[in-house]
Amino acid sequence: MENQTIQRSLGRNGILVTPVGLGCWQFSKQNNLAGKFWPNLDDDLINRIVSLSLEGGINWFDTAEVYGMGASEEALSRALQAAGKKPGEVVIATKWWPMFRFASSIQRTIDKRINALAPYPVDLYQVHQPFSFSNERSEMAGMAELFNRRLIRSVGVSNFSARQMKNAWKALDKMGIPLASNQVQYNLLNRKIESNGVMEQAKELGMTIIAYSPLAQGLLSGKFHDDPELIRNIGFRKYSAMFRPEGIEKSRPVICLLKELALRHKVTPAQVALNWLLHFHGDMVVAIPGATREFHVTENAGALAFKLSDEDMERLDKASTVFK
């Protein structure tokens, strides 16, 4: 059986990560608009979430500048220090926020990222999304400068289309640096990267897909199908089409199959959904589910304690084809 000790390379950079990492958006402390998507978790709970993740074998954490304007990075650093982790013992990914900025901001703001995460280095630095006052070539030039100065260990992008990803890859490749990854929304209820060229391009370029929202914001747990009344109290998520009655019905066949497979494997539907995501495309997809409660961490870390059969994965593929 696969577990978190079997690691995967982030693209062709040689940085090894466990198939499941921890997404840290929820550590934003409600500091800005992005932070308002989550409750204000106290440091004790954040420390427990990070500690349990480490105990579960998870070795990497994904955060970003825009998550509370450094609040998530600082909270993650405090939690790792509280857990006794030394620099180099874990892998840290963070992101530069490009909106309303030029590429020159990449160099100007790196000190803030380094200080927020201190004493832990930036192992993967990502362009958070493709909208800025600069193009991919300029942004990759900025990233290459940080890489060459050894301020970051690798470069990634997030929410990039197949074309944008290829442009960024070409720009970095000319400087002898591989583009490690593209972080995108990917789950059984959102398989668009399989039809819009992103997955195909990543395979061609030897890049890793980092799947955020791998559980479709909790929908793949099945709890909202069991009790739709819960949707009233989930904040901004309830306005998403997939949480509306017609969206719930559209995804019900996938949820029913997840429950069937979960019963057979003696796991949860969410763990089945994660297991499919991490195996269907070989070892090129890694996932960063978040956690606001301790049991979320245990569930996420245990998603690789079993193995779906090829037949199981094909059935899930067929049931979710409508979401490509």
Q: What would the two tokens of residue 42 be?
A: 């106290």
Positions annotated as catalytic residues are 67
Sign of CA dihedral 293, 294, 295, 300: positive
**Residues 6+ positions from 323 with CB-CB distance below 8 Å:** 188, 189, 190, 191, 192, 251, 254
Residue positions counted in the chain:
324
**Sheet containing 91-96: which strands, arranged edge to edge?**
22-23, 60-62, 91-96, 124-127, 155-158, 179-185, 208-212, 285-287
Any alpha helices (H) in the chain, and if so which ranges?
43-55, 71-82, 104-117, 136-148, 162-173, 198-205, 223-226, 245-265, 269-279, 294-301, 310-319
Helix (H, G, I), strand (E, B) or coil at 3: coil
